[in-house]
Structure 1
Amino acid sequence: MNTVKQGTKFTQDFKTYAIENDSGKVVSFFHDIPLQFDPATRTANMVVEVPRWSNAKFEISTSQPGNPIVQDVKKGSVRFVKNLFPFKGYIHNYGAFPQTWEDPTTTHGDLSVVGDNDPLDVCEIGLRVLQTGDVKRVKVLGSLAMIDDGELDWKIIAIDIEDELAGQLKDIPDVEKHCPGLLSSTRRWFRDYKLPDGKPPNVFAHDGIFLSLEKTVQIIQQCSNSWKRLIAGEVTSAKSLPATENVSNSGSPKLIQSFDLVANDYKGEGPIPPEIDKSYYYL
């Protein structure tokens, strides 16, 4: 999979599109990149949105045609994650599982909250820094159920199958054994990363316990099935649902021939606000 960048990085006009290697046409990061989840090997394809140690809050746009990766915007400004001491930006390679969807019209299992209307988030914990737009085969290890603004926002813990640690990690207890401190730091980071912006800490379901591989497999399968209903046009809601135009899912009511793409006009990086370089301290 190749990518094409448009606009100026760290501004609202920046986009990264997925380009199919064989045809050269734009495909949706959300709907056309295959999940290919294998329950036997516990592996799936992950789309990388944010490289580890970086601050810009990049994400797959669920509303724009072609579902490019863009920088999130709030109150008219692009969003950055500040440095929560002792961390620098995001502490994982952060991204999403394509062809999954956290359904905002139903509650999940024994939890009384609905999904956040986005693909499943993935935290890749390997040793390499990955890049925005990378598509990586990852091994699933476990999950954390965060509640964000009253919505369920799963964080799936996974590792690139090509990473040198991948052979040692098979479930959440292996992460604790071979990567001591990683899980507690992950919980702390997701709890507190909004504090520098004056927001309250996030909360977790299941008392903040990381769920096992077995339970996480069920979560992925459920969100995969939710996406299948979405792409088939079977979900209706008063809430705005994601755009479902795609070029690869036969039978989808929004199947199209191709996405329009303007010329590659990448202009390089724009400025980053100086406060993003600071460290912020919280107990």
Structure 2
Amino acid sequence: MAARYTPRLIGAPNTLEHRIFVEQNGSVVSPWHDIPLFADQNSGILNMVVEVPRWTNAKMEISKEEPFNPIKQDIKRGRLRYTWEDPASSHAETKARGDNDPLDVCEIGEQVGYVGQVKQVKVLGIMALLDEGETDWKVLVVDVQDPLASKLNDIEDVERHLPGLVRATNEWFRIYKIPDGKQENQFAFSGEAKNKKYATEIIHECHEAWRRLVNGESPAKTPNYELSIRNVTLKGTPGYTEKTDPAYTSLPQDSRRPPGPVDPSISKWFYISSAQV
């Protein structure tokens, strides 16, 4: 069912130069454009690319702008940050436009992944975070290899077998920007997590938006952004790139190094408390 995907690590973690490319059978592919949505369409099993493993706080993201879309740590004002939904399309129910990022996924299984890992997952539900006026969907899934996978088939199963987890996830996304000096985030649907059917509809909407992008029907370059649609599997698309192309042959080889030091100003704990009066 699953193709063989492995990470190609460039440079040292905690540095501006660090990148994680995704390889398929030893050759770089774009995790955004070359990894198919479905690992097994008949069974409804999807591929998910791990960006931020559980218990880590480096804000790792697929780079939408760089060729073949390596994963890198996000940057704000020249410093590393710790902690694709179509921006031209407004969702009918949230009344907010997409955030111009690939769809976010929260995998709730017990195995901790690694950056660049491609997991096969089942969709369980979805939450609609409203992040600074943009719709930032959070799809809830479980790894098909998880011990609970056979018992988790829809959002109500999560509360039955993992009581409190959905609420805790919602709470984390609501408050996680407060230590950065921002207001708490809001949610559509009063914070309710919608079910698998609704989540699947949103996934297909976003997948169609991506299809328009990669086929040149939606612009990859606008006054506000310039996205890389380079790929090695989608022949006939504007970004299709032969593996003999210099843009591909010049990709760096694995050059992993030990992590660099973390900026000491990042090593802080923030406690957010609430009191019931």
Provide TM-score, normalisation by structure 2: 0.90
How many residues matched? 262
- 1:224 counterpart letter in structure 2: H
Residues 204-231 of structure 1 deviation map (CA, whole Å, 9 limit, x = unaligned) = 1111110111101100011111111000
From 7, 16, 31, the counterpart of 1:12: 16
1:64 alignment partner in structure 2: 66
2:141 alignment partner in structure 1: 158
2:155 alignment partner in structure 1: 172
- 2:174 counterpart letter in structure 1: R
Q: Using CA pairs under 8 Å that are at least 6 residues apart, name the structure with larger relative contact order, 1 or 2.
A: 1
2:8–2:253 CA contact under 8 A, matched in 1: no
From 253, 269, 277, the counterpart of 2:259: 269
Structure 2 stretches of 5 or more lacking a match? none
Instruction: State how far apart, in whole Å, the 1-side matches of 2:264 and 2:55 are.
Output: 16
Instruction: State how far apart, in whole Å, the 2-side matches of 1:14 and 1:138 are.
Output: 27
From 238, 244, 252, the counterpart of 1:253: 238
User: How far apart are 1:267 and its partner, in Å?
Assistant: 1.9
Instruction: State how far apart, in whole Å, the 2-side matches of 1:120 and 1:37 are.
Output: 17
Instruction: State how far apart, in whole Å, the 2-side matches of 1:106 and 1:133 are.
Output: 29
1:210 alignment partner in structure 2: 193
- 2:50 aligned with 1:48: yes
1:228 alignment partner in structure 2: 211
- 1:280 counterpart letter in structure 2: F
User: How far apart are 1:67 and its partner, in Å?
Assistant: 0.2
Instruction: State how far apart, in whole Å, the 2-side matches of 1:265 and 1:182 are.
Output: 38
- 1:212 counterpart letter in structure 2: N
1:142–1:157 CA contact under 8 A, matched in 2: yes
Give RMSD over aligned pairs.
Answer: 1.5
User: How far apart are 1:253 and its partner, in Å?
Assistant: 1.0
User: How far apart are 1:40 and its partner, in Å?
Assistant: 5.2
User: How far apart are 1:106 and its partner, in Å?
Assistant: 0.9
Instruction: State how far apart, in whole Å, the 2-side matches of 1:153 and 1:242 are.
Output: 18
- 1:223 counterpart letter in structure 2: C
1:45–1:137 CA contact under 8 A, matched in 2: yes
Residues 242-268 of structure 1 deviation map (CA, whole Å, 9 limit, x = unaligned) = 210111112201111132312322221
User: How far apart are 1:144 and its partner, in Å?
Assistant: 0.5
- 2:27 counterpart letter in structure 1: K
Instruction: State how far apart, in whole Å, the 2-side matches of 1:214 and 1:49 are.
Output: 25
User: How far apart are 1:50 and its partner, in Å?
Assistant: 1.1
What are the residue-to-residue correspondences of 1:54-133 with 2, within 5 Å?
Answer: 54-81=56-83, 101-133=84-116
2:32 alignment partner in structure 1: 30
User: How far apart are 1:37 and its partner, in Å?
Assistant: 6.5
1:55–1:276 CA contact under 8 A, matched in 2: no
Instruction: State how far apart, in whole Å, the 2-side matches of 1:154 and 1:37 are.
Output: 21
Instruction: State how far apart, in whole Å, the 1-side matches of 2:80 and 2:74 are.
Output: 6
* Percent identity of paired positions between Structure 1 and Structure 2: 45
Instruction: State how far apart, in whole Å, the 1-side matches of 2:233 and 2:41 are.
Output: 23
2:38–2:44 CA contact under 8 A, matched in 1: no
Report the 3-state secondary structure (helix = DSSP H, G, I; strand = E; otherwise coil) of the residue aligned with 2:38: coil
From 172, 187, 194, the counterpart of 2:170: 187
Moved over 4 A (4+): 37-40
